[in-house]
A and B are shown apart, each in its own frame.
Chain A
Amino acid sequence: QVQLVQSGAEVKRPGASVKVSCKASGYSFTSYSMHWVRQAPGHGLEWMGIINPRGGTTSYAQKIQGRVTMTRDTSTSTVYMELSSLRSEDTAVYYCARDHPSGNYYMDVWGKGTTVTVSS
C-alpha cells in the first residue's frame, strides 16, 4: 500500500540545523511531487514547500526561503527537508505529504509526522 515513513523525533539547539527524511513506498516515486507541511503546537498547518522528485525542482514558502532545502534520492525513494538556523518558533510537527498526480496542489497521502523541538 502507499506509505510515507518519516524519520524519528529530533531535539535541536537554537542555531542548529535539522534534516527530516520521508521514505515513499507503494507507488512510482518520481510520478508525484512531495509537499512539506509543519504544525506548531496549538496552531494550524503551514505549507513549507514542494519538491518534484523527477527533476528535483523545488518551490519554497517565502517565510522560510533561504533556511530550507528540499532534496531527494531516487535510488531510495526518499525526500529530505533540511531547515537551518533553527529558532524556538520552528518547534513543530513536520509532515511530508504526496501531491495528487494532477499537480493541483492537494495532498492525498500523509506521513505520520516528525516532531522537531528547538530548545536550549
Chain B
Amino acid sequence: QSALTQPASVSGSPGQSITISCTGASSDVGSYNVVSWYQQHPGKAPKLMIYEVSKRPSGVSNRFSGSKSGNTASLTISGLQAEDEADYHCSSYAGSSTLVFGGGTKLTVL
C-alpha cells in the first residue's frame, strides 16, 4: 500500500487554471474508478470535492473537475479564487477493502 504521488506544491494567479496530478499504480488508480479529491484548509477537516474520478458533490463549484488516464488522476481548478488556497489530497481504492491517499498538494493563489 504505497502512497499515491502528488506534487508538493502548485501555484496560480486568480482567474487562471491549475491541475494537480495524482499518480498511483495499476493496482489502485489504474484499476478502479474510485478516485476522490479532498480540499483541506489549515486547521480544518478535509472536504470532499470530487468522487468517482469526476463527479462533484452537491454544493461544490463546477470550477472543480476531475479526470483519469491510466495510473494518473488529475484535479483541475479553473478560474482560481483566493479561497481555493488550501491543501488538496487524492485517494484511491486499492483493492481488498483498502484505501490509499496521496501525500497532499499545497495550492497557493498568488
| A interface residues (Cβ-Cβ under 8 A, vs B) | 35, 37, 43-47, 50, 59, 61-63, 95, 97, 100, 104-108, 110-113
In this complex, what residue of A is CB-closest to B100?
Answer: A47
**Are A45 and B34 in contact (CB-based, < 8 A)?**
no
Bound-state CA distance A48–B96 (Å) is 14
Bound-state CA distance A106–B103 (Å) is 17
Q: Jot down 20 A-B pairs with beta carbons below 8 A, ordered by A.
A: A44-B103, A45-B91, A45-B104, A46-B101, A47-B91, A59-B96, A62-B1, A63-B1, A104-B34, A104-B51, A105-B34, A105-B91, A106-B34, A106-B91, A107-B36, A107-B38, A107-B46, A108-B48, A110-B47, A113-B45
With a cutoff of 8 Å between Cβ atoms, the chain B residues found around residue A45 in the complex are: 38, 40, 46, 89, 91, 101, 104
With a cutoff of 8 Å between Cβ atoms, the chain B residues found around residue A47 in the complex are: 91, 98-101
Inter-chain residue pair count (beta carbon < 8 A): 69
With a cutoff of 8 Å between Cβ atoms, the chain A residues found around residue B1 in the complex are: 61-63
**Are A112 and B46 in contact (CB-based, < 8 A)?**
no
- Smallest CB–CB gap between B34 and chain A, Å? 5
4 closest A-B pairs (Cβ-Cβ)?
A44-B104, A59-B97, A110-B45, A106-B36
Q: Mark B78-110, 1 if CB is under 8 A from A, else 0.
A: 000000000101010100111111111000000
**Are A105 and B99 in contact (CB-based, < 8 A)?**
yes
With a cutoff of 8 Å between Cβ atoms, the chain B residues found around residue A111 in the complex are: 45
- Smallest CB–CB gap between A29 and chain B, Å? 19
**Are B93 and A104 in contact (CB-based, < 8 A)?**
yes
Bound-state CA distance A46–B3 (Å) is 8
**Are A44 and B3 in contact (CB-based, < 8 A)?**
yes
Checking B38, B40, B52, B98 against A61 with a beta-carbon cut-off of 8 angstroms, the contacting residue is B98
- Smallest CB–CB gap between A66 and chain B, Å? 15
With a cutoff of 8 Å between Cβ atoms, the chain A residues found around residue B46 in the complex are: 37, 45, 95, 97, 107, 110
**Are A107 and B48 in contact (CB-based, < 8 A)?**
yes
B14 at the interface (CB under 8 A from A): no
**Are A44 and B89 in contact (CB-based, < 8 A)?**
yes
In this complex, what residue of A is CB-closest to B104?
Answer: A44
